[in-house]
Amino acid sequence: MENPLLSVFDTPHESIPFSTIQPEHFIPALKKNIKNALEGIDKIVSQTAAPNFKNTIETMQNVGVLLERNSLILFNLNSAETSEAIQKITKRASQLLTQFQNDVRLNQALFERIKAVHEKKEQENLTVEQETLLEKEYKGFARNGALLKEDKKNKLREIDIEIAKLSLTFGENVLADTHAYELHITQEKDLKGLPNQVKEMARETAQSMEKEGWVFTLDYPSYVPFVTYAENRELRKEICLAYGRRGFQDNSNNNTTIILKLIKLRKKRAELLGYESHAAFVLEERMATSEEKVQSFLEELFLKAYPAAKSEWKKMEKFALLNLGLNKLEKWDTAFVSEKLKQALLELDEQEIKPYFPLEKVKTGVFEIANKLYGLHFKKNSALEGYHCDVEVYEVFNREGEFHALLYTDFFPRPGKRNGAWMTSYRGQKKGQRPHISIVCNFSKPTSTSPSLLTFEEVTTLFHEFGHALHGILANTNYSGLSGTNVFWDFVELPSQIMENWCYEKEALELFAKHYKTNEVIPMKYINRIKKSAHFQQGLQTLRQLGFSFLDLSYHGYQATDINSVKSHESSILNRVQFLRDYPENCASTAFSHIFQGGYSAGYYSYKWAEVLDADAFDLFLEKGIFDSQTSKSFEENILSKGGTEHPLVLYKRFRGKAPDPNALLKRAGLIND
């Protein structure tokens, strides 16, 4: 059978013909793609012409186009629509790609050409974007071993292959433990407190398993409502502890050994390259620049947030004792008590406002906001294929009506899809090529009696991922390696987090927050309460994020190899940011996919870092108007379209007119006064 992955897709916009692609196509295609890419590299190296930007750096950008496309398809499917076959193939592909990347990065003749261009760059009259690309390529080689002796290069290859395998296995183990658990309820009294839609969804889950009663799982839309609303404390405890045991049980999915191996390998790799730690290696190419600067940033936030968090915790304890009869708060109580307290203080019941946030209207709303800000139009095209029946494909057009991008949306949980929410791409943007972008979430499914109704947190999640998508959709650079989200890691969250701000603004909410039955616009009383909710327990929420950031940094700092027990190390780090007692059977690290499977190792702090940027940047929108055309045009031209073509601080200052002010975040969170 002909392998569709061996050629350019003959489809509208070269969209992916998912139905024609079989798992067995990937490895033969990737092997052929790698062979062709290496031949392309050989042509660059063997040419007799003296190295210059055009015949070396620019030519490299067009090597391995099909390899990049096919790799993106495979790894994206492994996250959103995996199977045992896909998982095995992804492991094999990961080894092949790591080997290929090392073959390129450790190609001494190629590096000599890049080095020659780098040394004579002043003679080439390069644009700022070309200078950035040259610097990125040179550093990319140097930071991947090009300056090492041959024996150390070989050691680096071995380490990279092992890291790639361990990271994939880590994610598979979390997914396996997530799907191995179910809470099967047969007595209706045990559902007390749960919203009707949640119960209906659990009944339909049970029916799909051919079981009586109701089934709850560790998937986010099932787990979170249960621990938030179920009045049965023992059942909250059971599912909560099950969630915390993922990757930490006495079974083949235990991730503790993998973590210890990963952090040691990452440190060993960094040391080979001349760095004290993995964090030092990573942070050299971040806005934060160093482990010390990140630690200082986190400590400063901790000092501001801790008093507020402690006060919020005492209020929770007092409320729980007086109103719920709980003498001591446990892990399985916090979401439940927090929701009750929010209802009491803000008169904001999540279940009252959910009917105003049907997924379809929220999606239409975020499209309309993008139209008001950036002139984009979204048109669903059912003729274009998705990889699952839940996936919708939209053509995106710019102000002039020209095709600008494809957007895939995938919103509901299912077996074979990992938890969480993310944006990714199937094709990057470069001169003459528009991008194919995807946003993936895990929202509550529609039931037989109601559409998918989002919690307000889910609304902000959709806006967040859509902000990432805009970074890809509006990209306008010459080279894909500098396009869209190819920016410093602690800058990448700015476009996503700034989008969340529109969820709190009356002018924006009135565009999409409409009751799914009556089409009534959300009443002002709810809008006011939503705005107030932005300050609710910000101290505790900040402390939680700081805890993960401290933990991440500790695993990747210079003392990483001193860690012998994942659980005891985690407890020692998180102790000062938690008010709950520790639970010996639970471990957050073993399911911390951001840093052990995703790309956030030594980078989890970037969420808080980017919050500073987004709070400061949105202040300008508030000052000028949230749909002010001049401000949105400046944000598009200086941030969204520019990708990584210049240093992010240069781009930010060009938009904002000044450096970001850290106090903007603290003020917005209500942790300090104006």
Catalytic residue among 465, 493, 500, 611: 465
Contacts of residue 549, Cβ cutoff 8 Å, sequence gap at least 6:
294, 298, 604, 605, 607, 608
Residue 535 carries which side chain, given as an amino acid letter? H
Say if residues 4 and 21 touch (Cβ distance below 8 Å).
yes
d(CA 444, CA 197): 9
> What's the gap between Cα 516 and its chain centre?
29
Say if residues 87 and 78 touch (Cβ distance below 8 Å).
yes
Closest among 472, 479, 488 to 652, alpha carbons compared = 488
In DSSP terms, 423 is beta-bridged to: 439
Taking CA atoms, 399 is separated from 404, 447, 459, in Å, by 10, 37, 26
Closest among 130, 128, 11 to 60, alpha carbons compared = 130
Residue 440 tokens, joined: 């993936």
Say if residues 266 and 517 touch (Cβ distance below 8 Å).
no
- Tell me which residue has tokens 């806006």: 463
> What's the gap between Cα 140 and its chain centre?
23
In DSSP terms, 392 is beta-bridged to: 409
CB atoms < 10 A from the CB of 61, how many? 17
Residue 26 tokens, joined: 């990937």
DSSP 15: -
Say if residues 225 and 198 touch (Cβ distance below 8 Å).
yes
Contacts of residue 424, Cβ cutoff 8 Å, sequence gap at least 6:
72, 76, 79, 437, 438, 440
465 is catalytic: yes
Say if residues 127 and 431 touch (Cβ distance below 8 Å).
no
Residue 299 tokens, joined: 């400590």
d(CA 437, CA 466): 10
> What's the gap between Cα 544 and its chain centre?
17
Say if residues 340 and 317 touch (Cβ distance below 8 Å).
no
d(CA 182, CA 169): 22
The set of long-range contacts for 44-52, using a CB threshold of 8 Å and a minimum separation of 24, is 44/110, 44/113, 45/107, 45/109, 45/110, 45/113, 50/116, 51/113, 51/114, 51/116, 51/117, 52/117, 52/124
d(CA 631, CA 637): 10
In DSSP terms, 425 is beta-bridged to: 437
Going across the sheet that includes 422-427, the strands are: 377-380, 392-397, 403-410, 436-440, 422-427
Catalytic residues: 465
